[in-house]
Amino acid sequence: MQIPLTLQFINLLAALLLLIAFAMLAQRRILSLINLFAWQGALLALSTFVVAYSTGQHHLYYSAGLTLLLKVLLLPWLLHRLIRKLNVRWDVETMINIPTTMLVGIALVIFAFNLAAPISQLAEGITRGLIGIALASVLLSMLMMLTRRKAVTQVVAFLSLENGLFFAATSATQGMPLVVELGIALDVLVATFIFGIFFFQIRETFDSLDITNMEKLKDD
């Protein structure tokens, strides 16, 4: 079967997206993490654009533009500013060491592909692997959220989780209705602002952004 060039290209982008998710899992410098996040956003915008071009869905062009604006420019810029102001550079240590995290990550990818297998059968042609990849990057972001101790890293993980979901929405289903996408984008933006407010509140109260300080609330 001859596969159209655009679809091959989307598949390539999906593979790169998964690669970046792994790179983020292994990265301990916060600055590089934010750069990786921006790259992930760029790949997402590109893949949305290609889907828009190949299917002729006009509203996807808006989504691609919105992704570019929000996830490649605005959010990384905000995060850069934040860490400069808060003066955090290193994510000192992870809760589990990095090689173990990577192994768990591989297991998650296999799990995601298995889970998505029955659905992939239904999708036409090449979009098959895409739901699996999207689910895998969602799970990898979740893993990152669980294993990191710094509040800033958790937020980057949260945003990259949103990226994985967005990829599922555009590539597997050719885009949710525009009103829903706009709503989601607005929520993500507001969430980032609230996260920013939180950083300052947390730092003011605890003198650090290490969330291990925040394990006091237990049932006793």
Q: What residue spans of 56-177 are helical by DSSP H?
A: 58-67, 75-86, 98-122, 128-147, 151-167, 173
Judged by CB under 8 A, the residue of 36, 44, 70, 131 near another protein is 131
- Residue among 140, 138, 139, 141 nearest 154 (CA): 141
- Please report whether residue 110 would count as binding another protein according to CB under 8 A: no
- Please report whether residue 194 would count as binding another protein according to CB under 8 A: yes
- Please report whether residue 165 would count as binding another protein according to CB under 8 A: yes
Residue carrying the six token digits 């996260």: 195
- Please report whether residue 183 would count as binding another protein according to CB under 8 A: yes
- Please report whether residue 162 would count as binding another protein according to CB under 8 A: yes
DSSP for residue 172: I
Contacts of 148 (CB under 8 A, 6+ apart): 91, 94, 95, 154, 157
Chain positions contacting another protein, by CB under 8 A: 57, 115, 118-119, 122, 131, 135, 138, 142, 145, 151, 154, 158, 161-162, 165, 168-169, 172-174, 176-177, 179-180, 183-184, 186-187, 190-191, 194-195, 197-198, 201-202, 204-206, 211, 213-217, 219-220
